[in-house]
Structures are given as structure tokens and as C-alpha cells.
Amino acid sequence: MSTLAIVKRETKGWKWPLIQLAYMTGLAYVSAFIVFQIMS
């Protein structure tokens, strides 16, 4: 969350922080799914 706050402050808008949040959430989900499939 602190990273998103810094990006918002530096870019003076919500566009890039929201893109970053969506990207990181998607990356974490896909990574967890791949690891789960490999381990089970």
C-alpha cells in the first residue's frame, strides 16, 4: 500500500497506481496458481 501511495503522489493521479495494483495482484495470483499446480 505504501508503494501505491508513493506512485499516486509522484504521478498526481490514480491511473498508474491502479494499473500497478491490478498487475501485481494478477501476477501474484498466476504465480500462486502455477506453484499450486506443480506442488499438487
**Sequence ranges of the domains in the chain:** 2-39
What is the chain's pLDDT, residue by residue, as a tens digit (40 residues)?
899 999 999 999 999 999 999 999 999 999 999 999 999 9
Max CA pair span of the chain = 44
User: What does the pLDDT read at residue 1?
Assistant: 87
Model confidence, pTM: 0.79
Q: Read off the C-alpha cell for 8.
A: 499516486
For 1-30, what is the HEC assignment? CHHHHHHHHHHCCCHHHHHHHHHHHHHHHH
Residue with cell 490514480: 14
Q: Is the dihedral of CA 13, 15, 20, 26 positive or negative?
A: positive
